[in-house]
Structure 1
């Protein structure tokens, strides 16, 4: 069933809990924060680079790249673009969470920008609108709450002018220990209820100069 292969469905994670103790999909994440030129955030552009196995499965599921060279024609890219933005379930936050002193930033629905093949990996870009002043500080995390997909913030990070960032990679050993103490992973809804993915999330701490 195609929906089980799409990243939106995978992040919603309908698989059985015991099979989800470890991630099944791996995504490298890049972010670009765009402003309106007046000190306000306007968009967050998100790049998702999928692992080679998932990329191959997606191409197979769509019946694309029949010669297996991991290259796409213009027509094939046009058919596939937006596959990872389709049918987001109600309440799905797009695996991106941005916290400020004033609360969590609200991001609007995604707009697909591009899809390319790079060294056997599907790489997609989309952007999401946001309307807020550039905050003094932001804590940015990209993760799948159910941890069916593992997202790593190792892509390019473009911050607003006057902002600097410090990326801290997740401590997987510490996360494993924490999760072990949260309940029984064998329970059917454990991974959805506990939202273990946040414990495996990289963290980008952003500091911005105050507006003059």
Structure 2
């Protein structure tokens, strides 16, 4: 297990020695879906994530975890893969970014993470919940991002982010930041660590596609 986890982390983190974000570019690509479920009072019940990885990365993972070399992953091999991925991305908060009125929200570790292969592509499926109860504020945002810039996880269509139970009076929109504008707007808060070591900061979230839910202020 330790060897396989090391291999997976190695595949995910190759190429992180570039000097600046201008030269750091993703090597792994995944199409994402996010389902946000809200309770009637506006409390976040759960987030449902699905990531579909690109063919090349999927093939690499298949070869590494195919213990019996039959070119497919059985139930035990998939369980081994799921456990390895869960451990590997835990330190990155499972690539999630949730904010309430500009403040980050801590998410609890998912109870289960499922790995599967469909049409020769790796699928990662899991649900997560806020560590503490989270009720929608004036501005609540949800998204995914890799703080190392190595993995590009994005929503191809705005409809790939879906909300169930949106309270009346609240509005939602998908925001896709322009990288140059994001850097310019956040220049004052970007540090040398951000430009020289992408793994040392979480500021890469400013480039992440996100869903913003805006609700009226309560009197």
TM-score by length of 2: 0.72
Segment of structure 1 superposing worse, 19-28 or 137-146: 19-28
How far the C-alpha of 1:173 sits from its partner, in A, is: 5.7
SS at match of 1:78: helix
Q: Residue 5 of structure 2 aligns with which residue?
A: 3
Greater Cα offset, 19-28 or 192-201: 192-201
Aligned to 1:18: 18
Root-mean-square deviation (CA), in Å?
3.8
Q: Quick check: 1:165–1:206 contact (8 Å CA) kept in 2?
A: yes
Write the distance in 2 (CA, Å) between the matches of 1:150 and 1:17. 17
Q: 5+ unaligned residues in a row in structure 1: which ranges?
A: none
Distance 1:95-1:171 versus aligned 2 partners, 3 A rule: same
**How far 1:157 moved relative to its partner?**
1.8
**Structure 1 position 207 matched with structure 2 position 214:** yes
Q: Which residue of 2 aligns with 1:40?
A: 43
Residue-pair matches, total? 204
- Show CA shifts across 1:105-133 (max 9, x none): 22111222533222221111111222212
Is structure 2 residue 199 aligned with structure 1 residue 192?
Answer: yes
How far, CA to CA, are the matches of 1:3 and 1:62 in structure 2? 10
**Equivalent residue for 1:169?**
176
Q: Secondary structure at the match of 1:135?
A: coil
Matched, 1:78 2:79: yes
> Is 2:70 the partner of 1:51?
no
* Bigger shift: residues 165-174 or 119-128: 165-174
Instruction: Select the structure that is richer in helix.
Output: 2
Report the secondary structure of 1:108's partner residue: coil
- Measured in 2, the distance between the counterparts of 1:127 and 1:51 equals 21
1:147 Cα offset (Å) = 0.2
- Equivalent-residue separation in structure 2 for 1:74 and 1:85 (angstroms): 16
Q: What are the within-5 Å matches in structure 2 for residues 5-154 of structure 1?
A: 5-6=7-8, 10=12, 13=13, 15-18=15-18, 21-36=24-39, 38-63=41-66, 66-68=69-71, 72-88=73-89, 90=91, 92-101=92-101, 103-130=103-130, 131-154=133-156
In the aligned structure 1, how far is the partner of 2:136 from the partner of 2:11?
A: 32
Query: Structure 2, unaligned stretches of length 5 or more?
Result: none
Q: Secondary structure at the match of 2:106?
A: coil
The offset of 1:77, in angstroms, is 3.0
Deviations 1:111-169 (A, max 9, x none): 22533222221111111222212334312231111201112123732214125532233
How much does 1:58 deviate?
Answer: 1.0
Question: What is the TM-score with the length of structure 1 in the denominator?
Answer: 0.73
Deviations 1:192-211 (A, max 9, x none): 34656334321322235789
